Chains A and B, each alone.
Chain A
Amino acid sequence: MSFYQSVVRLFSRLNLICAIFGASILFFIAAIIFMEVVGRAVTGSSQLWVIEVSEYSLMYITFLGAPYLLEKNRHVVLDILYNSVGPGWQRLAALFNAGVGLALCVVVTIVGIGVVIDQIGSGVRETTVMAPQSFWLTMAMPVGMFLLGFQFLDQGVRAATGRGRA
């Protein structure tokens, strides 16, 4: 097995672990919101942290799950034109899409890391009841975009070597 294939497998496992973690968070927020409704109906008091934690969780669910879906080609695609052209054009489009996607991910990862470092340095916090440090929230985006970037790179490699659709 080549080094590249080992790296692809490593990222594939990472994507799956992240997706499972994201799904676990989804169940977690369903559980805490359900308990909040029941608890409020019984005791008449609310837990303010439930809404906040649910909101923050959405960031992690989305950016942890997105790379797995990209790896499995399950993101929503408008394939009207793509499916109506020949294999040569499809390969060209796949290369183009992989290049554009990779560029997007590289830029957002770099800028995102910069924003996170700024937030850590300045100690900025969310203006909410829990007031967590903002970088905990922002961090999900560069992490997810980094993993997505590798998937776009792999799609580009597969398109260039003729190993399936990107």
Chain B
Amino acid sequence: MMEWYTVVAIILGPLLLLMLAGLPVAFAFLVVNLIGAYLLMGGVSGIEQLVLNTVDSLASFTLVPIALFMIMGEGMFQSRIAIDLMDTLDKWFGRLRGRLAFMAVGGGVLFSTLTGNSMGSIALLGSTLVPEMEKRGYKKPMSLGPILGSAGLAIMIPPSSLAVVLGVVSDLSIGKILIGIIVPGLLMAVLYATYIWVRCTLQPDLAPSFDVEPVPLSEKLNATVVHILPLSLVVFSVVGVIFLGIATPSEAAATGAFATLALAAMKRRLSWDVFSRTIFGSANISVMVLLIVAGAVGFTQILAYTGATYGMVDAITSMDASPSAIVAMMIASVVFLGMFMGPLPIMLITLPIFVPIVIQFGFDPIWFAAMYLVAIETGSTSPPLGAALFVMKAVAPVGTTMNDIYKAAIPFIICDFLAILLLFYFPALVTWPVDAMY
């Protein structure tokens, strides 16, 4: 019997090597699973078992929301409902100093309730707001930063695809996670808004005031009724139906998807072209995610089968450090990995190791899940290689350097760390809404 660290080295080493060589993440997992199954699970019969395990792991109802939340996001973007939302916010913010930066935060929160994809939010907020911000003389820290920060809220506010992945990989209640991350998500938005307000007050030149055409109250109210109020139908169809016990979180993704399509139809924007691009686009993203999840679940099973998971948990729990310090180290390591890797691979590699340890220590795993997701969001906006930074670069105006984006992101990363600290010391921010619901 091999020691656990030998098994981990045999499995994890080639996995990282294949990923770094540029093999798609899903196939890197499958290759390592194949070799692991052959060497550690009894040759060809191990591979046969791997095939059956992959089928079992994919044919799971808990994975359904990943695919269906994608329909919501794609539908919002393809039918331009998201653009309407931004236009309406624009009417309300008036002459407020830093209004476009606040709009980014407001838009980020609202998009987060409609889509579970932070990269889509960055692309949309970046392409619609940054050119206007540049035109109005906003400096980079106040144009790029708020978008980077608030677009990441899509991870934290339901529906969140990554929250579903977390629930599936860690075998935790998806419903509890979705409820538990609402307050942390809103807390982050408040921290971002506070930072923008303080910075704009201290350094007004970062976000110069500019005259905007006064919008009559009747027009603002009309735009709100036409463009924002109907969105409550979509929000209700996801979060409301879970709260009321009408649907499970998996089913709520379907009601959300249909509410989105219904809203697009009501706005007379659901042409065949929009519909087919929505469904085809969401299917493509779903395939990417589902294949990675299938590979990662097989990876988790091999780690567990060989005793590597137990060995790691045992080694960490017997370390000469307090359980809280170990949890803090785990969260820090997630942020660190996020500087180099995308959210999904990090989640799929670390969760099977971290969550059993957290449970072993007697902590609430939902509390840990909420901090973990903030850390994932933080990592994805962290230099040098956070994934969100490159999406921002893609939509930023010509001449924007990666250095500009790095500098703009840092204050919002500090806000994220502050949010993690608050959650760490006040677990009730996560656990209270969950306890109230369950």
Contact = CB atoms under 8 A, between A and B. Distances in A.
**Contact residues of B: prevailing secondary structure:** helix
14 contacts: A23-B279, A29-B67, A33-B68, A37-B254, A69-B287, A75-B27, A76-B25, A77-B24, A79-B22, A80-B20, A82-B20, A82-B22, A111-B47, A115-B48
Interface of A: 19-20, 22-24, 26-27, 29-31, 33-34, 36-37, 41, 51, 54-56, 58-59, 61-62, 65-66, 68-70, 74-82, 90, 93-94, 96-97, 100-101, 104, 107-108, 111-112, 114-115, 137-138, 140-141
| Most chain B CB atoms below 10 A, which of A36, A75, A94 | A75
B274 interface: no
Interface string B268-305: 00000000000110111011101110100000000000
Chain B's interface size range is 35 or more
Given A30-B257, A101-B27, A138-B52, 10 more contacts: A22-B287, A26-B68, A33-B250, A37-B247, A69-B288, A75-B27, A78-B342, A81-B21, A90-B22, A94-B22
B356 interface: no
Interface stretch (B56-64, B210-218, B326-334, B370-378): B56-64
A166 to B, nearest CB: 8
Nearest to A38: B255
Given A23-B280, A58-B60, A62-B291, A141 B25 contact: no
Interface string B333-344: 000000011101
B63 A30 contact: no
A137 B55 contact: yes
Interface string B3-26: 000000000000000111111111
**Contact residues of A: prevailing secondary structure:** helix
Interface string B302-338: 0000000000000000000000000000000000000
B52 A26 contact: no
A58 B24 contact: no
Contact of A78 (B22, B48, B279): B22
Contacts of B290: 58, 61-62
Contacts of B63: 58
A76 B24 contact: yes
B41 interface: no
A93 B31 CA distance: 16
Nearest to A111: B47
B61 A76 contact: no
